[in-house]
Amino acid sequence: MNEIQKSDKDKINELINNRIPITTSNIPIDKNSFVMFICFFWGTIIIILTNYWYFNLLFTQHNIFLYLFLPLNLYGNIWLFVFSSAVFSTFFIRILKKIHPIKEGIFDLNTKEGKKEFNYYKLRFWFSYYAIWLGRAMPLPWVDYVIMKMLSSKIGKNVCLYDSWMDTELIEIGDFVMTSLNTVLVSHIIYNNYFIQLRIIIEKNAITGGQSIIAPGTYIEEGAILGASSSTYIGQRLKGNLIHVGNPALKSFPIKIGK
């Protein structure tokens, strides 16, 4: 992982001092992302078509057992499609990371370097987004967790993700962390003409409340709780064993356990 340059550190410190909250993390799809996405989609379909022999037997032999197993076969193809998409996503993302390693920092979108960093991020983003979206459409709650691990997300054991949305890059989650319903963890944002991507670290036993938003560069210490509908500002550090609330979270309270 590339080190953050000194000039970027000065910009990050300025953002922290100004307590800049989340603005937007929308990533528009461009022509290159769309073409690669279509190619990989049809690559997944080709894998599914390798199962043509079953349907060939189904319509030629009319065996009763083939009809009995038809629902199971169709359901299996859905799972095959989801995990094949995840494998394709992982493969292409690793190639993109080899070609252009991920960098932390603040990048000016008006410069050649900034545009290059943002364009590579868009490609990685759409591959990971598609795979996770498919995983969350499945009926089992652990599928997105498995796919995120495949995409090299650093997630500890016994982590509860619920229906939270999180980037797959520059996020480290410790053991026994709970992210509540509609929690958003974004390690990247677009702020004015800058593309910002900074590491988010959540230590073990921490909790993020429902509909909370964690900004890039946030560090949540062990045992800390971010209240429901609260948010952090860029580069904020939440101290452990305290409840933090607000937009951004500037108030904190001790955790009291009743007898």
Q: What is the pLDDT of residues 135-153, one digit of tens each?
A: 888 888 788 888 888 888 8
Measured CA to CA, the distance from residue 122 to residue 28 in angstroms comes to 8
Tens of pLDDT, residue by residue over 186-229, are 999 888 788 889 999 999 999 999 899 999 999 999 999 999 99
CATH number of 39's domain: 2.160.10.10
pTM attached to this predicted model: 0.82
pLDDT over threshold 60, residue 3? no
Residue keyed to tokens 């971010």 = 226
35 in any annotated domain: yes
152 in any annotated domain: yes
- Tell me which residue range forms the domain holding 141: 6-254
pLDDT over threshold 60, residue 2? no
pLDDT over threshold 70, residue 237? yes
Tens of pLDDT, residue by residue over 52-111, are 777 777 777 777 777 777 787 788 888 888 988 899 889 989 999 999 999 998 898 899
149 in any annotated domain: yes
157 in any annotated domain: yes
Nearest to residue 40, comparing CAs of 107, 76, 92, 110? 92
250 in any annotated domain: yes
Instruction: State how many domains the chain has.
Output: 1
244 in any annotated domain: yes
259 in any annotated domain: no
1 in any annotated domain: no
Tell which phi-psi region holds residue 229, choosing left (phi > 0), alpha (psi between -120 and 50) or beta: left
Residue 56, burial from CB neighbour count under 10 angstroms (0-12, 13-18, 19+)? exposed
Type and span of the H or E element at 214? strand 213-214
- The answer to whether residues 103 and 117 touch, using CB atoms and an 8 Å cutoff, is yes
